[in-house]
């Protein structure tokens, strides 16, 4: 089982304190701690850039983790963001960090599967980053996202795909033992999204950008400050394994922008 850590909020509190981060927080101070995907908040900025989000938007973040992407969206655009995630510990920690960042008027989290999430109003945009590798039935999952969007609403994704050239080493950031690893190739992933009623606006291989981000970010070893590997079970091994797979060209990082087809 992955995402099985206990006492995440207490661990994060301690890590922040150990790094002198007491009192109010700025989301940027959490960049390598709460952006649970390759590329930190720069990747989030890249992912939402094609959509002109603003204060009138209602954004759904599916698989919101510790809430880094949701907070960054709200901070940058003024949009209201709802994060949903099946891991209760993570939604609790996301809520805690959001309060410490003073963003709780705009950002909230719910411990739920997307299928059981029933918003009062449909969302104008949805974002999902590094979750689809855990999803077995991808067409059904993207269909559930489409059902919660206005017609013409945006979906932006930042995901990892397999190039199919090698088996990925375990543990991975999204799977400890492989039983919940449902990574697919880029064509299959895009097919799952479009089969759920989305039209493709952009579908871009971002592997080179991510490689450069890794090289720049970790050129002097671990940057100062708290990091994901410090709170995640077996975090350092999982991070190293994905770094090695990335360097070997065994994964592709893909960014996509879709709109909900009005014909569905
Ligand atoms: C690698 S983390 C990414 C978190 C966040 N999107 C980010 O980029 O910081 C994957 C997240 O997906 C969540 N997750 C896995 N399967 C899910 C599902 N079926 N529905 C919602 N969330 C899911 C996990 O609990 C975890 O928080």
Q: What is the mean pLDDT of residues 62-77?
A: 98
Residue 264 has pLDDT above 90, yes or no: no
Contact indicator for 63, 159 with CB cutoff of 8 Å:
no
pLDDT at 20: 96
pLDDT at 263: 66
Average predicted confidence (pLDDT) for the chain: 96
pLDDT at 197: 97
Query: Distance (Å, rounded) from C-alpha 171 to C-alpha 179?
Result: 11
Chain centroid to Cα 82, Å, comes to: 13
Percent of the chain at pLDDT above 70?
99
Ligand 1 centre to CA of 66 (Å) is: 9
Token pair recorded at residue 40: 């930190």
pLDDT at 222: 86
Tens digit of each residue's pLDDT (9 = 90 or more) over 187-221: 999 999 999 999 999 999 999 999 999 999 999 98
Q: What is the mean pLDDT of residues 48-63?
A: 98
pLDDT at 262: 84
Q: Which of 258, 252, 259, 131 is nearest to 186 (CA)?
A: 252
Tens digit of each residue's pLDDT (9 = 90 or more) over 8-21: 999 999 999 999 99
Q: Which of 119, 161, 118, 168 is nearest to 138 (CA)?
A: 161
20: preceding bond cis by omega (within 30 degrees): no
Nearest ligand 1 atom to alpha carbon 65: 27
Q: What is the best residue among 63, 64, 238 to mutate for testing ligand 1's pocket, by most ligand atoms within 8 Å of CB?
A: 63
Q: Is 36 in the pocket of ligand 1 (CB under 6 A)?
A: yes
Residue 137 has pLDDT above 70, yes or no: yes
Q: Is 3 in the pocket of ligand 1 (CB under 6 A)?
A: yes
Q: What is the mean pLDDT of residues 90-118?
A: 98
Query: Distance (Å, rounded) from C-alpha 71 to C-alpha 68?
Result: 5
The lowest-confidence range among 66-70, 218-222, 234-238 is 218-222
């Amino acid at each position: 089982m992955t995402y099985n850590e206990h006492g995440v909020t207490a661990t994060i509190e301690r890590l922040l304190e150990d790094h002198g981060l007491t009192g109010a927080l700025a989301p940027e101070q959490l960049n390598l701690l709460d952006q649970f995907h390759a590329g930190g908040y720069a990747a989030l900025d890249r992912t939402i850039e094609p959509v002109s989000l603003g204060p009138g938007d209602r954004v759904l973040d599916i698989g919101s983790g510790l809430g880094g992407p949701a907070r960054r969206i709200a901070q940058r655009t003024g949009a209201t963001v709802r994060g949903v995630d099946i891991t209760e510990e993570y939604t609790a920690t996301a809520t805690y960090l959001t309060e410490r960042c003073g963003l709780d008027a705009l950002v909230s989290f719910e411990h739920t599967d997307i299928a059981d999430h029933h918003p009062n109003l449909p969302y104008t945009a949805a974002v999902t980053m590094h979750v689809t590798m855990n999803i077995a039935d991808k067409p059904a999952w993207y269909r559930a996202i489409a059902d919660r969007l206005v017609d013409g609403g945006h979906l932006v994704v930042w995901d990892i795909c397999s190039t199919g050239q090698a088996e990925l080493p375990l543990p991975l950031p999204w799977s400890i033992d492989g039983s919940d690893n449902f990574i697919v190739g880029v064509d299959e992933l895009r097919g799952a999204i479009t089969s759920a009623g989305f039209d493709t606006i952009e579908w871009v291989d971002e592997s080179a950008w991510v490689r450069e981000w890794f090289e720049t970010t970790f050129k002097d070893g671990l940057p100062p400050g708290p990091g994901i590997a410090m709170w995640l079970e077996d975090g350092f091994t999982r991070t190293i394994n994905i770094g090695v797979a990335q360097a070997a060209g065994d994964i592709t990082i893909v960014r996509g922008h879709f709109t909900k087809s009005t014909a569905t």
